[in-house]
């Protein structure tokens, strides 16, 4: 029996060493590498299990994504070239080119935009546009719940499918784990094409647990599109446990819908292996000519570059007056943290809004040390108290804004498939600024919360320990 124990120990040590070598060879950020080393060293057995589920990098999908992106870009490129009198604002020309050089994210003018700050505003608009659909509806979401709201949306999609409208739905397999299989089967039985993104079948596809499609995109007839932070779930209307959910979503009408269409169809090719490039999915915009310029920017773990993260860094480091940010989870990467502190120390009015109370306690603990780091540099931190603020937005200098699915954390910047709309339009920037300032009225300044600024030694020690795991959360 004693020999068995020694043999088991020897095998375990070999496995640990092999896994550690693999972690090192992934060449991730040192902080992330060290986090995994700590987990593997100090959490026996469980550490290996966690790594196989959440730590493995996957690049094999890159070729699939690149092929579909190359093909789909050809179609949107034609529409981009045909734009007349396209003017790129001088102050953001480099940022626009940055996105274009990364994966041919093209800017489009001639757009109309409507911003929603609650489910009561967004879902009636979504259902109204679904009801108007004549050719196709494309829905890409992290969560679609089988609750009353999810049933209403499903009924609306089924009704259009019965009318002969093409309906395609992508949902994230992990994000929608709680949704019953029969919910999707009912839609499929009515002719709706429904696919799960990276379906997980333990233990075969364990590495896929960590890479999730967090995008929230809807395209109707190639003319109207939605993007933002809201999933298809009742919580955005009713809240959870008496805690209201605040979020931001945007409707885009016009040429920028080409970018939303491209983002959806790239995902569609990945889940279905069906490449859709027909011009009918890129109709001529009916919006009157205007200078409302929008880029639809996506990022993913299959990309060579962290597109949205680099965009945030560029905005922060080039700001002259202010940068206002909202995020439900604040676990910033080193480049983001450095850019925030640099901007604040340069005299830029940097404001960060996070929830007073989050839905994930361990993230809240890990976040506190990062928050206090930014405060030392002069960042003003506000805690939203009128519910759980799930909004993801940024606005700077009354001239640029972004709304989308991206949180300011490691997961969004490195592990998840995300999508944001970047607006180079003063009118939209001022609207987003107003959204932030109205939310600020429902906040308390961090320095006024004594239990956060005057914590015991044990509290600070615990938060510092949890921070070590922040790249993995």
Concatenated DSSP letters of 83-126: -SS----GGGHHHHHHHHHHH---EE-SEEEEEE-SHHHHHHHH
First to last CA, the chain: 39
128 within 8 A of 217, measured Cβ to Cβ? no
State the angle between helix axes of 361-376 and 457-467 in degrees (0 to 180), rounded to the nearest 10.
100
Mean pLDDT of the 84-100 span: 84
- Domain ranges within the chain, ordered by starting residue: 2-54, 62-92+106-291, 307-472
222 closest CA partner among 165, 159, 157, 280:
280
What are the pLDDT digits (tens) for 127-178?
Answer: 999 999 999 999 999 999 999 999 999 999 999 999 999 999 999 988 888 8
CATH assignment, 62-92+106-291: 3.30.870.10
**Per the structure block, which two tokens stand in for 473?**
């959360």
State the angle between helix axes of 30-42 and 46-54 in degrees (0 to 180), rounded to the nearest 10.
140
Domains 62-92+106-291 and 307-472 share a fold: yes
213 closest CA partner among 263, 247, 249:
263
457 within 8 A of 414, measured Cβ to Cβ? no
Active site residue 214: yes
- The reported pLDDT for the residue numbered 331 is 87
390 within 8 A of 229, measured Cβ to Cβ? yes
Selected catalytic residue, list 172, 221, 247, 439? 221
- The reported pLDDT for the residue numbered 190 is 95
- Which residues 6+ apart lie within 8 Å of 428 measured at CB? 113, 115, 292, 401
Q: In what order do the strands lie in the sheet with 293-299?
A: 107-108, 293-299, 418-424, 400-404, 393-396, 322-326, 349-355, 380-384, 443-445
DSSP 232: B
Active site residue 159: no
Query: Given a cut of 50, is residue 203 above it in pLDDT?
Result: no
* 284 class by beta-carbon count within 10 Å (0-12 exposed, 13-18 middle, 19+ buried): exposed
Selected catalytic residue, list 140, 392, 409, 416? 392
150 closest CA partner among 183, 182, 173, 121:
183
Mean pLDDT of the 70-74 span: 55
Selected catalytic residue, list 397, 409, 416, 439? 397
Lowest mean pLDDT among 120-124, 180-184, 369-373: 369-373
d(CA 130, CA 245): 24
- The reported pLDDT for the residue numbered 20 is 56
What are the pLDDT digits (tens) for 420-445?
Answer: 999 999 999 999 999 999 999 999 98
Phi and psi torsions of 43, nearest 5°: -125, 80
DSSP 213: B
- The reported pLDDT for the residue numbered 165 is 97
Selected catalytic residue, list 390, 409, 425, 433? 390
Selected catalytic residue, list 138, 214, 251, 433? 214
Query: Given a cut of 80, is residue 383 above it in pLDDT?
Result: yes
d(CA 443, CA 452): 15
- Which residues 6+ apart lie within 8 Å of 446 measured at CB? 371, 375, 381, 382, 383, 452, 453
Q: Kindly report the number of other CB atoms within 10 A of residue 196's CB atom.
A: 18
What are the pLDDT digits (tens) for 263-294?
Answer: 999 899 888 888 888 889 989 888 988 989 99
Selected catalytic residue, list 208, 216, 249, 380? 216
Global confidence as pTM: 0.83
Active site residue 136: no
**Omega prior to 203 cis, within 30 of 0:** yes
Residue 222 — left, alpha, or beta (φ > 0 → left; ψ -120 to 50 → alpha)? Answer: left
- Torsion sign, CA atoms 50, 184, 237, 140: positive
According to DSSP, the residues that pair with 12 across neighbouring strands are none
Q: Does domain 307-472 have CATH number 3.40.50.1970?
A: no
Torsion angle defined by CA atoms of residues 194, 329, 250 and 245, in that order, rounded to the nearest 10 degrees:
90
94-to-295, 358, 388, 401 alpha-carbon distances in Å:
13, 36, 35, 15
**333 or 51, which is more confident:** 333
Query: Given a cut of 80, is residue 48 above it in pLDDT?
Result: no
Active site residue 392: yes
273 closest CA partner among 51, 67, 93:
67
d(CA 466, CA 314): 29
Lowest mean pLDDT among 32-36, 203-207, 366-370: 203-207
> In whole numbers, what is the pLDDT of the chain averaged over residues?
82
Active site residue 216: yes
What are the pLDDT digits (tens) for 8-45?
Answer: 556 556 656 665 566 555 545 555 565 655 555 556 66
* 58 class by beta-carbon count within 10 Å (0-12 exposed, 13-18 middle, 19+ buried): middle
């Amino acid at each position: 029996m004693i020999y068995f124990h020694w043999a088991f120990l020897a095998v375990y040590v070999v496995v640990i060493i092999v896994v550690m070598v693999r972690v090192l060879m992934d060449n991730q950020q040192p902080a992330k590498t060290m986090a995994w080393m700590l987990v593997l060293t100090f959490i026996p057995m469980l550490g290996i299990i966690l790594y196989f589920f959440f730590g493995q990098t996957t690049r094999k999908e890159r070729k699939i994504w690149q092929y579909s992106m190359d093909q789909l870009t050809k179609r949107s490129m034609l529409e981009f070239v045909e734009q007349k009198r396209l003017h790129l604002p001088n102050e953001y020309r480099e940022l626009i080119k940055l996105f274009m050089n990364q994966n041919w994210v093209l800017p489009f003018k001639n757009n109309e935009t409507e911003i929603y700050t609650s489910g009561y505003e967004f879902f009636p608009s979504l259902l109204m546009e679904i009801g108007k659909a004549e050719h196709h509806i494309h829905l890409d979401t992290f969560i679609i719940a089988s609750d009353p709201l999810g049933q209403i949306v499903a009924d609306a999609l089924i009704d259009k499918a019965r009318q002969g409208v093409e309906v395609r739905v992508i949902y994230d397999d992990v994000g929608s784990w709680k949704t019953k299989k029969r919910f999707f089967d009912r839609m499929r039985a009515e002719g709706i094409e429904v696919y799960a993104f990276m379906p997980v079948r333990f233990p075969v596809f364990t590495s896929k647990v960590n890479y999730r499609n967090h995008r929230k995109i809807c395209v109707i007839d190639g003319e109207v599109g939605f993007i933002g932070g809201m999933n298809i779930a009742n919580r955005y209307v009713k809240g959870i446990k008496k805690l209201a959910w605040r979020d931001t979503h945007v409707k885009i009408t016009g040429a920028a819908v080409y970018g939303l269409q491209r983002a959806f169809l790239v995902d569609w090719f990945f889940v279905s292996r069906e490449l859709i490039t027909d011009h009918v999915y890129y109709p001529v915009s009916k919006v009157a000519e205007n200078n409302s310029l929008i880029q639809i920017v996506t990022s993913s773990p299959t990309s060579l570059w962290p597109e949205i993260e680099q965009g945030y860094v560029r905005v922060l480091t080039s700001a002259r007056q202010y940068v206002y940010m909202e995020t439900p989870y604040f676990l910033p990467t080193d480049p983001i943290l450095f850019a925030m502190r640099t901007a604040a120390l340069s005299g830029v009015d940097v404001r960060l809004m996070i929830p007073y109370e989050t839905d994930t306690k361990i993230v809240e603990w890990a976040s506190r040390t990062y928050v206090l780091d930014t405060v030392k540099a002069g960042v003003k931190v506000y805690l939203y108290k009128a519910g759980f603020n799930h909004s993801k937005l940024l606005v700077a200098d009354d001239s640029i804004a972004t709304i989308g699915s991206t949180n300011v954390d490691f997961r969004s910047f490195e592990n998840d498939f995300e999508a944001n709309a970047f607006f180079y339009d003063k009118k939209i920037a001022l609207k987003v600024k107003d959204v932030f300032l109205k939310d600020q009225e429902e906040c308390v300044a961090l320095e006024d919360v004594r239990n956060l600024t005057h914590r015991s030694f044990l509290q600070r020690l615990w938060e510092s320990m949890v921070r070590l795991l922040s790249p993995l959360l």
